Amino acid sequence: MKNIIDILTGLVSEAFGAAGFDPALGAVTVSGRPELCHFQCNGALPAAKIYKKPPMEIAGSVISHLLNRPEFREVSAAAPGFINITLSDGYIVSILNEMSRDPYLGVPQTGSGKTVVIDYGGPNVAKPLHIGHLRSAVIGESVKRTARALGYNAIGDVHFGDWGTPYGLTIAEYKVRHPDWACFKDDFDPAVDIIPEINEDEMNEIYPFASAKSKEDEEFKVASRQTVVDLQNRKPGIFDLWKKIKDTSVQSVKEIYDRLSVDFDYWYGESDSDGYTAELIERLTEKGLLHESEGAQVVDVSEEGDKISVPPVIVKKSDGSSIYATFDLATIIQREKDFHPDGIWYLTDKRQNLHFTQVFRCAKKAGLVPENTDLRHLGFGTMSGPDGKPFKTRDGGVMTLKSFIEMVDGAALEKLKDSEYIAGDKTEAAHTIGMAALKFGDMQNQPTKDYIFDLDKFLSFDGKTGTYLLYTVTRINSILKKSGTGYEQTPEIGGIFSDGERTLALAIIMSCQSYEKTCSDLAPSALCDSAYQIASAFSGFYRDNRILTEEDPDKKNSWLGLSSLTRRAMIKLLDCLGIGTVENM
């Protein structure tokens, strides 16, 4: 189904053409003054300059070609030259019924035929997921689901950090602690020698320890550098130990992502790009882009007009080892070969903005992807604690994601304690509600901004919260159940009988725009706004009308149809936010 803005833009553009003006002036937007009209077109203002005529006159002649159309209740000109459009109730109803029958529920399939790789999550081997990994997982999952709803072939890749300096440090420290392990012998033989099981507690503790130690202990630092080189050369023993550590990490990371309903198509890591490093160097050399700087191999990526200095990107360190940017560049080659994507979208915190500027420029300069490949990075802000500083545990430490989820679940369970609407064990419902509160609390913000994590507020049944949205869905569930309307049944909407319905209908129709906006801005806040607008419009509609006791069967049926469509539209928006719903609460 085409989205309403495109349909209206088509009609108004035609009218501009018919009146003798450039049809490109007919762009329609949502009204800035909803009390006056639903949509507007401002094209008569620029047209006035081009055609040297008063804007009101131009608006008037465009409007003369739009009169008496069944889509509009009113089209009028407003000073200084706006064209104000109000849809007719008949047209609103026909769109609702068309949405209801559409397999995509009115979401335009603008991504159809296109492939995007979405790089999010970004965990690191041998480090537990912590609070800093939350936003990438949550926002990335939502962007991926939304892209799919638009028809994209959207591929999620976790891009594990597993091949750089930290793993040299980790393995070097293992060697200090377990010098007797066979993997450290020069004559290690994978066919005979065994790598012991990795103890997760030790694994989680070892990297920060080793990292701190390398700052004071020069000998250890040198040893760990050599270990990175050995690892990247896949030295037997070292490489086998690394594999074991990685398997252990992947398993524990997967469990946490599962709890967040975050899932990836590929669990590739930096190490998987290793096979493309030689080709990367070759292609950069061929293009004459690589040069030496202080022993390292670098590519210049600064551009005229840069507001901040963009330093050269380091592709090989002086000891020949690969680093973060090398992996990202080699991964681009890999993705281009495997998927030939139309876009690669990355979600990390904004401290990596410069890194991605460097990588994208280098990739385009070297022609690793076609010029029009949409390489995009969303650098999001920080989640702060109530004091406005980055969120910390009570004793000032970094909270693991596991404990964080447990804390949210616990608070949600406490909130549901006295609810009589949930029979039996409330743990799973509490988890669904807790995650809704958490995810909505995060994503309703402009992602580039910092925000304050306020669990009490997020769990409130009132206001713009995930909890309120789930609650709204449960209210609709109850209406449909009481009326005997099955969730799959969607009675035809027969008309608009009250103002509240019109507001709700428009909120549902407009929500179809938010999917494209989410992908174009990498910002699910558009979905959050739509879901909230639908929920609050539903509250108004429900307050004004007694659906279940209505005696006019046509009216009642139409209202049930609208309630059912509201429910489906909300569940779809929530699903794209990675938020599940509960039956009752």
Can you name the residues that pair with 116 across neighbouring β-strands?
154, 343
- What's the rounded Cα separation, in Å, for the pair 188 and 186? 6
Establish if 119 lies at the interface with ligand ARG (CB under 6 A). yes
Between the CA of residue 244 and those of 147, 160, 184, 187, 227, what are the distances in Å? 35, 15, 14, 19, 16
- What's the rounded Cα separation, in Å, for the pair 461 and 395? 30
- 127 Ramachandran zone, left/alpha/beta (phi>0; psi -120 to 50): beta
- What's the rounded Cα separation, in Å, for the pair 443 and 453? 11
Establish if 159 lies at the interface with ligand ARG (CB under 6 A). yes
Each residue 295-334 as x (binds ligand ARG by CB under 6 A) or -, in order, gives ---------------------------------x------
CB of 576 vs ligand ARG, minimal distance in Å: 22
Instruction: Work out the angle at residue 442's Cα, subtended by the Cα atoms of residues 440 and 446, and round it to the nearest 5 degrees.
Output: 110
Mark the segment that binds ligand ARG (CB under 6 A) among 117-125, 368-376, 475-483, 524-532: 117-125
Closest by Cα among 453, 456, 385 to 414: 456
Which residue type is seen at 482? Answer: K
CB of 329 vs ligand ARG, minimal distance in Å: 10
Backbone phi, psi, residue 509, to 5°: -65, -45
Q: 570 is written with which tokens?
A: 């909300």
Can you name the residues that pair with 28 across neighbouring β-strands?
41
Mark the segment that binds ligand ARG (CB under 6 A) among 119-127, 142-150, 237-245, 258-266: 119-127
> In terms of CB distance, is 119 or 272 closer to ligand ARG?
119
* Residue with smallest beta-carbon separation from ligand ARG: 122
CB of 466 vs ligand ARG, minimal distance in Å: 26
What angle, rounded to 10 degrees, do the helices at 427-443 and 401-416 form? 110
Backbone phi, psi, residue 74, to 5°: -155, 140
Backbone phi, psi, residue 103, to 5°: -60, -20
3 state SS of 290: strand
> In terms of CB distance, is 348 or 581 closer to ligand ARG?
348
- What's the rounded Cα separation, in Å, for the pair 547 and 568? 18
Residue from 26, 55, 161, 168 touching ligand ARG (CB under 6 A): that is 161
Each residue 38-77 as x (binds ligand ARG by CB under 6 A) or -, in order, gives ----------------------------------------
Establish if 271 lies at the interface with ligand ARG (CB under 6 A). no
Q: What is the dihedral of CA 467, 472, 477, 482, to 10 degrees?
A: 130
> In terms of CB distance, is 10 or 381 closer to ligand ARG?
381
Mark the segment that binds ligand ARG (CB under 6 A) among 116-124, 385-393, 448-456, 561-569: 116-124
CB of 540 vs ligand ARG, minimal distance in Å: 43
Helix H or strand E segment including 226: helix 218-232
Establish if 341 lies at the interface with ligand ARG (CB under 6 A). no
Mark the segment that binds ligand ARG (CB under 6 A) among 61-69, 118-126, 478-486, 547-555: 118-126
Residue from 42, 124, 227, 358 touching ligand ARG (CB under 6 A): that is 124
CB of 348 vs ligand ARG, minimal distance in Å: 5
Establish if 122 lies at the interface with ligand ARG (CB under 6 A). yes
Establish if 225 lies at the interface with ligand ARG (CB under 6 A). no
Tokens 């006791």 belong to which residue? 549
CB of 271 vs ligand ARG, minimal distance in Å: 12
CB of 347 vs ligand ARG, minimal distance in Å: 8
Can you name the residues that pair with 156 across neighbouring β-strands?
118
> In terms of CB distance, is 159 or 316 closer to ligand ARG?
159
Establish if 346 lies at the interface with ligand ARG (CB under 6 A). yes
Interface with ligand ARG (CB under 6 A): 119, 122, 124, 159, 161, 328, 346, 348
